[in-house]
Structure 1
């Protein structure tokens, strides 16, 4: 039995569900319900996992003058498995509302986890572990509106338990200072301290998607059914009708020939499917809009590849790039600063403020081969117009497009800052050249 999703759970009444349905009745999901939803539906897993994978897939490039120091930092991040940890943290944030990374450090002095992390006393960053809000029992916030840190979390009450449920030996308290973890939270209501799981506002749409999947399955199962008409049916008992139904169901599935009397009738009825595509498209559009992900990405399009006219996918990657800048960059920069402060990590403690360094995220996407060829054709036609009108010489075009290494080493257009700047520079040079000719 499958009940109408609008009935019960605050969404309606067993009678007249549509009339009694009211918007704005929030549904709160427990951690167990979130786990069940995630484990049961691959589409939900895509909605949770794919943006987290995209945010960390291309990773970043660290720019600084000291190449040795840069290589040592990147090597240490690989040893810490920072890329995997940040991906898991964002996955937990989308699924549970809060994602965390614990900072396992060695300091020159004894400390408790409830003490603020003193960066000047760092010796080594030993490990980092990603975990979710399930491990956090409570958030202790600064509620003093005249404090500089008003509204910020000062302590986390952690559930630090062993596998068998016993408290870790030697641990007298489970309060952890906020400076000893990296906390990822992007959806928090004003009067709450925990982040909102992404699946809470998506719940109704996911339910409709599940209902549509079940409905399509039922239509496929009953896509064509047979009707047997006979006068003898009226005098049969319920048991005889059931036995006849099972026999005929078996025979009509395994035999292509039916032998019936002149007064009997056997015909096949089909299930009407007109308008089904439009309804299913509507469900997908609603899900894509609510998740802020294109349908092609939710369905598993190859990561980082864009075909022609996929403006929705380009907008998606632009949104991911914005999240990298606004949400992931501060966490990554803090991790790098901790490595620089550590006296036993990179050949001695380094004050991050005394050196020039920059974290630059690598491009998230590139066009497919067909679209890249179309772009090259347009560029070639543009170059031909410039040459024909004397804006630029053929030798200059050859050097600009292909350099000294020929066509084989020409890279695909990736849409990153370097490509855009290069195109802008070429347009500027052409404009200046045209002005001289004039």
Structure 2
């Protein structure tokens, strides 16, 4: 008997693992630390398709990283406008958003470059920049469509770790491997183990937390379903058979759910009770904190808070946008630069072939967020007080402050104050030196 009870403890009737079947083992009961969960393409797609929280985790950073897009800095305004128009025609913003979304879901996000050359070419060959005619299209796709990646494994090579060729699914009615040179594809990959070529899907390390999150949703649903229940007491119950009790329970359950009035005998008793939910909030907060920490996304962002506006107390959201800005600079910017170089090399795109190295140009990402009116006023007040100290101690002149804060055309919508640590230290040292000299002169 005891052995039977012990074996029963190893199982739990949980809809997530067993679809309501008690003979299915719950993964959390026998969880092993460090055990890697490998998810198939079908499992990843199913998780994404059936859970809106997962869709937020995958989609929101991809939307934020491209939401305000870019500004191209160069002296030739006509050339800049032509490049930006071509990017709009190619729907580059949407393609880069999808590339990052696919990267988070499958581990790899890719964009194919549909170039036209002045001579015949094979996709296995690198792009010949001297023969480029035009860039006809770009298409974003996921790592699910990549059979394998051929990468450089020579640790003494300058190109160590980089992919040289991609093997895509074979073309219809062809037995030949469909290889594409790396120069014809933009590749976004941020999580990869050293001995693997494909990136790791974000949902794999999140799987246990998402399992607990789904279980908590089911548990809360059960609590709400049984939040209030009734108990019926009668001496006649003891004389009923099992079948009679079941029939009476079904009848009374139906009546008590559909009728507000219950007619009972003198010695019978009907009570209404509520489920105790004390401590449930702390448990749910713990699950949310774990999910937020694992995804490096604030809970308010995961839940779909309005993007772009921040109040003074939302430091976690500010840190999140700082990470998004770092992703833009370190991960997306090189891909955008490669795309623009291809456009400049094309003979028929921008009025003739242009060597990207012959002109000065730079990609700048537009600001991701702004602060609410109250926080903005408080920041401007503190900056004005700081400027007043600088002017009084001779660190800056009033003209320098005017140029820095107001620019040529009046008050700027965003502060020009950078907040750079080196700048702050330098100014602080200068203020201290001026104050020390002033005290020595007065003494």
With the shorter chain as reference, the TM-score category is 0.7 to 0.9
SS in structure 2 of the partner of residue 36 of structure 1: helix
Q: Does 1:292 align with 2:303?
A: no
Per-residue deviation, 1:351: 0.7
Which range is displaced more, 174-183 or 79-88? 174-183
Q: Distance in 2 between the 1:359 and 1:277 partners?
A: 46
SS in structure 1 of the partner of residue 47 of structure 2: helix
User: Could you tell me which of 225, 243, 246 is aligned with 1:242?
Assistant: 246
Q: How does 1:192-211 map to 2 (within 5 A)?
A: 192-211=196-215
Deviations 1:126-148 (A, max 9, x none): 10000001111111223345544
CA contact (8 A) 1:135 1:160 kept: no
Q: Does 1:66 align with 2:76?
A: yes
Distance 1:228 1:435, change over 3 A: same
Q: Does 1:93 align with 2:103?
A: yes
Q: Does 1:137 align with 2:144?
A: no
- 2:46 equivalent in structure 1: 36
Q: Distance in 1 between the 2:256 and 2:77 partners?
A: 76
Deviations 1:161-201 (A, max 9, x none): 5xxxx458xx9651111111111111001111110000000
- 2:5 equivalent in structure 1: none
Deviations 1:9-53 (A, max 9, x none): xxxx959975x5321111100011000100111110010001111
- 2:413 equivalent in structure 1: 411
Q: Distance in 1 between the 2:147 and 2:313 partners?
A: 47
CA contact (8 A) 1:6 1:17 kept: no
Q: Does 1:275 align with 2:279?
A: yes
Q: Does 1:420 align with 2:418?
A: yes
SS in structure 2 of the partner of residue 105 of structure 1: strand
- 1:151 equivalent in structure 2: 161
Q: Distance in 2 between the 1:292 and 1:232 partners?
A: 60
Q: How does 1:375-390 map to 2 (within 5 A)?
A: 375-379=379-383
Per-residue deviation, 1:393: 9.6
User: Could you tell me which of 127, 142, 152 is aligned with 1:117?
Assistant: 127
Deviations 1:50-99 (A, max 9, x none): 11111111111111111110110011001000010000000000000011
Q: Distance in 1 between the 2:269 and 2:373 partners?
A: 59
Q: Does 1:75 align with 2:79?
A: no
Per-residue deviation, 1:103: 0.3
Distance 1:47 1:237, change over 3 A: same
Q: Distance in 2 between the 1:208 and 1:65 partners?
A: 55
- 1:10 equivalent in structure 2: none
Q: Distance in 2 between the 1:327 and 1:16 partners?
A: 36
Distance 1:389 1:178, change over 3 A: closer
User: Could you tell me which of 226, 230, 234 is aligned with 1:230?
Assistant: 234
Deviations 1:357-385 (A, max 9, x none): 11111111111122223323434555677
- 2:190 equivalent in structure 1: 186
Q: Distance in 1 between the 2:244 and 2:45 partners?
A: 47
Q: Does 1:127 align with 2:144?
A: no
Q: How many residues of Structure 1 are paired with residues of Structure 2 in the alignment?
A: 419
CA contact (8 A) 1:117 1:180 kept: yes
Q: Distance in 2 between the 1:398 and 1:56 partners?
A: 33
Q: Distance in 2 between the 1:50 and 1:118 partners?
A: 37
Structure 2: runs of 5+ lacking an equivalent: 1-11, 19-23, 439-443
SS in structure 2 of the partner of residue 269 of structure 1: strand
Structure 1: runs of 5+ lacking an equivalent: 8-12
CA contact (8 A) 2:405 2:417 kept: no
Q: Distance in 1 between the 2:111 and 2:225 partners?
A: 48
Deviations 1:342-362 (A, max 9, x none): 010001111111111111111
- 1:345 equivalent in structure 2: 349
SS in structure 2 of the partner of residue 182 of structure 1: strand
- 2:324 equivalent in structure 1: 320
CA contact (8 A) 1:6 1:21 kept: no
Which range is displaced more, 146-155 or 189-198? 146-155
SS in structure 2 of the partner of residue 420 of structure 1: coil
CA contact (8 A) 1:340 1:349 kept: yes
- 1:252 equivalent in structure 2: 256
Q: Distance in 2 between the 1:391 and 1:148 partners?
A: 47
Q: Distance in 2 between the 1:380 and 1:299 partners?
A: 36
Distance 1:46 1:399, change over 3 A: same
Q: Distance in 1 between the 2:402 and 2:355 partners?
A: 47
CA contact (8 A) 2:114 2:137 kept: yes
- 2:377 equivalent in structure 1: 373
Q: Distance in 1 between the 2:398 and 2:357 partners?
A: 48
